[in-house]
Amino acid sequence: MKVTLIEKYNCLKEPYRHTHRAFLQNTGPFGWPAGWVIRLLLSTERNVKLCLFYQVEAEVDHSIKKVYDAYNGTNPDAASRAIDYVQRQLHCCGIHNYTDWESTAWFKEAKNHSVPLSCCKATLSNCTGSLAHPADLYSEGCKVLVVKKLQEIMMYVIWAALAFAVIQVGFKTLCFVLLRIKNKTLFVFSARTHRCPLKRCK
């Protein structure tokens, strides 16, 4: 998974170069400072994404086992409701697969060789969660899907923050360019006025 992420973001370097080059062509020398700031933001954004993605995966790996161990199958229990909700919504069962339930305290106490009903496929109405019928259960584990969902949410947040920063840089660059144009116009007008006093200038 890590190799895939690194390859993915390395592939984005070339479009960033083209974007930076086009930006400089349209803004001239005034675009150099802003251009480098944008490149810095894009580079930082890639590094932050990679760092946060690995951190999210490590945090989920650390905490999901505790949550599953705390499952007791009762609806009032927050951990139990959370696990049942995740398994139903993401169509998953267990941490890596449904066999993970066999090592939980709830499974050992129940002694019915079954997993929670939230592991049952939504299309089946007669599923009892029995491990004797594994085809009735979701085969994919929840850890990978939870990590993926959290990473998607983080992507929206990161891109929103980056877009806001780029907009700020763009407005500041525009103000800088307009100010330089205004100062240059005033300088030319002032020089012309000093060379041609009164109304003798044509």
Q: Residue 159: inside a domain, yes or no?
A: no
Q: What does the pLDDT look like over 61-102, one tens digit per residue?
A: 778 888 888 898 876 778 788 899 999 999 999 999 999 999
Q: Residue 45: inside a domain, yes or no?
A: yes
Strand partners, 51: none
Q: Residue 64: inside a domain, yes or no?
A: yes
Q: What does the pLDDT look like over 175-202, one tens digit per residue?
A: 777 777 766 665 555 555 555 554 554 4
Q: What's the domain count of the chain?
A: 1
Rounded to whole angstroms, how far apart are CA atoms 51 and 24? Answer: 30
Q: Residue 17: inside a domain, yes or no?
A: yes
Which domain range does residue 45 map to?
5-22+36-151
Q: Residue 164: inside a domain, yes or no?
A: no
pTM exceeds 0.75, yes or no = no
Q: Residue 16: inside a domain, yes or no?
A: yes
Contact 136, 120 (CB under 8 A): yes
173, burial (CB in 10 Å: exposed 0-12, middle 13-18, buried 19+): buried
For the domain that residue 141 is a member of, what is the CATH number?
A: 1.10.1450.10
Q: Residue 181: inside a domain, yes or no?
A: no
Q: Residue 42: inside a domain, yes or no?
A: yes
